[in-house]
């Protein structure tokens, strides 16, 4: 079931290069919503200078212009590392600049993680990251600045988004389940280059706790900003009816 009305474009997404963008039409079909995706291009290397370049304002403004014909009610920068690399204040400024360019509410995957944790009332997490260690630690720092306690962090050391996009569902399941922590209220699996929506129910069943993946929280955030409360039992605890109906 879903509370998302069919029809017009609800939320638009700016996605870097190509890797796991198939998660968006998958979510759109489940939710009965239109979730248009446009692409911006830069290097897909998980390294600080490249990520800062990837998320620069003019690049995102170009993505917003490409989304304009779809008339989205909200726009999200669908990139975790290309937003948290700017730090807590920088990520918010990035979203504000995107909102100004798009003329509608805007956010990013990194901000979506914080909103999702608030909605679930979760403050203690484990992180199973695909990134090299340096980049994964920046995500931990970003979460910490928002008051989120990270009780464990793992980094798979994958250097490019293209490589992450080749991970099979079985590999994603293995990466995530191997790096949970018993003291964590939820497991976070960042990187929108990883195809995860199809395995979230399996992950949550295996771990017995909410699992928040990058494309999952990005879709949820876009719909939330558009004023829609999405509900579907195949997209994880974040999309559960009682969460979808919560005042947030």
Residue 248: predicted pLDDT: 38
Distance CA 231, CA 190 (A): 22
Residue 165: predicted pLDDT: 75
Residue 118 CB neighbour total at 10 angstroms: 14
Distance CA 39, CA 82 (A): 14
pLDDT value at 7 more than 80: no
What's the fold here for domain 122-213? Rossmann fold (3.40.50)
Nearest to 199 by CA among 175, 170, 238: 170
Residue 69 CB neighbour total at 10 angstroms: 11
- Beta partners for residue 154, in sequence order: 128
Residue 128 CB neighbour total at 10 angstroms: 26
Q: What percent of the chain has pLDDT over 90?
A: 69
pLDDT class of 9 with cuts at 50, 70, 90: low
Residue 207 CB neighbour total at 10 angstroms: 17
Q: pLDDT tens across 161-211, in order?
A: 778 878 888 988 888 998 899 999 999 999 998 899 999 999 999 999 999
CATH 3.40.50.12500 corresponds to the domain 12-113+215-244? yes
In three-state secondary structure terms, 149 is strand
pLDDT class of 4 with cuts at 50, 70, 90: very low
Residue 5: predicted pLDDT: 45
Given a contact cutoff of 8 angstroms between Cβ atoms, the answer to whether 123 and 91 are in contact is no
The token duo for 6 is 């069919």
Distance CA 156, CA 153 (A): 10
CA distances 222 to 12, 113, 171, 204, 234, Å, are 7, 12, 27, 22, 18
Residues listed for the chain: 248
pLDDT class of 63 with cuts at 50, 70, 90: very high
Q: pLDDT tens across 107-142, in order?
A: 999 999 999 999 999 999 999 999 899 999 999 999
| pLDDT mean across residues, the chain | 90
Cα end-to-end distance, the chain, whole Å: 21
What residue ranges of the chain are covered by domains with CATH 3.40.50.12500? Answer: 12-113+215-244, 122-213
CA angle 128, 50, 13 (to 5 degrees): 70
pLDDT class of 45 with cuts at 50, 70, 90: confident
pTM: 0.92
**Pairwise pLDDT comparison (45 vs 154), residue with the higher score:** 154
The DSSP letter of residue 107 is E
In this prediction, residues 49-73 reach a mean pLDDT of 94
- Beta partners for residue 15, in sequence order: 39
pLDDT value at 243 more than 90: no
């Amino acid at each position: 079931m879903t509370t998302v009305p069919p029809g017009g474009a609800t939320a638009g997404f700016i996605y870097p290069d190509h890797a796991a963008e198939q998660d968006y039409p998958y979510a759109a079909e489940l939710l009965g919503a239109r979730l248009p995706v446009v692409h911006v291009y830069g290097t897909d290397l998980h390294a600080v200078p490249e990520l800062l370049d990837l998320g620069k304002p003019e690049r995102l403004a170009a993505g917003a212009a490409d989304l304009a014909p779809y008339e989205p009610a909200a726009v999200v920068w669908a990139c975790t590392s290309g937003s948290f690399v700017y730090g807590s204040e920088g990520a918010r400024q990035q979203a504000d600049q995107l909102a100004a360019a798009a003329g509608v509410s805007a956010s990013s995957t990194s901000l979506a993680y914080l909103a999702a944790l608030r909605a679930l009332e979760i403050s203690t997490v484990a992180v199973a990251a695909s990134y090299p260690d340096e980049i994964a630690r920046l995500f931990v720092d970003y979460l910490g600045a928002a008051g989120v306690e990270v009780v464990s962090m793992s980094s798979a050391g994958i250097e490019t988004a293209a490589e992450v996009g080749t991970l099979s569902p079985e590999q994603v399941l293995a990466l995530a389940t191997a790096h949970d922590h018993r003291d964590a209220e939820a497991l976070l699996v960042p990187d929108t280059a990883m195809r995860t929506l199809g395995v979230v129910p399996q992950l949550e069943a295996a771990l017995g706790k909410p699992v928040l993946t990058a494309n999952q929280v990005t879709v949820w955030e876009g719909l939330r900003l558009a004023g829609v409360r999405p509900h579907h039992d195949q997209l994880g605890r974040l999309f559960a009816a009682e969460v979808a109906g919560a005042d947030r």
